[in-house]
Amino acid sequence: MGKEEAAAVESSTVVLAVNGKRYEAAGVDPSTSLLEFLRTQTPVRGGCGACVVLISKYDQATDEVTEYSASSCLTLLHSVDRCSVITSEGIGNTKDGYHPVQKRLAGFHASHCGFCTPGMCMSIFSTLVKADKAAGRPNPQAGFSKLTTSEAEKAVSGNLCRCTGYRPIVDACKSFASDVDLEDLGLNCFWKKGAEPAEVSKLPGYNSGAICTFPEFLKSEIKSALKQADDVPIAVSNDGWYHPKSIEELHRLFDSNWFDENSVKIVASNTGSGVYKDQDLYDKYIDIKGIPELSVINIGLP
């Protein structure tokens, strides 16, 4: 592949942090999902309903970490290279103690059969992390977050509960909201409704930022890797995973000799794999999440 065809080749090793611990995966098939890696290479197992994780990415240019929740069964491992992944076991467990989200879900009788609970925990935790980092919001009183009740109602909109117990689940999430009226929340084990006052001090305490979402060692590795790659014209991989950083680089990939529309799949979040079971048909993937122009929506006439 010539320079005009985007010639630089990166290491095929995927590096990521899982619950604060460093992991490497060398020579991994590009169709490998994050869930498959977690189940086979880490102590995490996560059944259906528990596959929701928090993924954090670091931008060296702005020195900022951004977080979002995702289904690990739909997330390709190569797409989280140099990312931090936190699972439900990472925010709280029997050995280290439970997180306030987990405690409040149990206290509001929101666990039901339990299959969906880990995923609910991670969606709520992700919503709290993003809300508490939002600029321009006043600091909440102790025990609450910067989350609003409106945001709380949408926090688990992407999760399914087959027990149809959304009311207590949403109540548990609302209990973190700075504008909630605790008296409006349903039955719980923290106070008897109508018999004693509802006070945030009776809820499991919550402090934002108690869990580090992106470890310092991974930031250092990213900074070091970027210094070594300053002269690289395009970021590609020798194991079938390509991640162009601009529209121009994407066009060069399309024009290169290796491109074959029958064996190459373009992916962003890869949610289509939940419907179309065609992972085995491709041996090359182009990840377009790194192209800024494809991650914005412009409304109105140019």
DSSP SS3 for 36: helix
Instruction: Give 125 or 273, the one with higher predicted confidence.
Output: 125
Residues of each domain in the chain carrying CATH 1.10.150.120: 100-202
Residues of each domain in the chain carrying CATH 3.10.20.30: 3-90+212-295
Amino acid 119: pLDDT: 92
In terms of DSSP H, where are the helices of 3-99?
34-41, 88-91
Single-letter amino acid, residue 206: Y
Amino acid 57: pLDDT: 94
Q: How many residues comprise the chain? A: 302
Which residue has tokens 């910067």?
Answer: 146
- For residue 59, pLDDT beyond 60: yes
Amino acid 4: pLDDT: 37
pLDDT tens digits along 241-292 = 888 888 998 888 888 877 777 788 888 878 777 666 665 678 788 888 888 8
pLDDT tens digits along 85-123 = 999 999 999 999 999 999 999 999 998 888 889 999 999
**Which tokens belong to 161?**
């509960």
Which residue has tokens 């066009």?
Answer: 251
Which positions ≥6 away from 9 have C-beta within 8 Å?
A: 236, 237, 238
Amino acid 228: pLDDT: 60
Per the CB < 8 A criterion, the answer to whether 84 and 243 are in contact is no
CATH number of 3-90+212-295: 3.10.20.30
Measured CA to CA, the distance from residue 192 to residue 204 in angstroms comes to 16
Measured CA to CA, the distance from residue 208 to residue 115 in angstroms comes to 26
Name the CATH topology of 100-202: DNA polymerase; domain 1 (1.10.150)
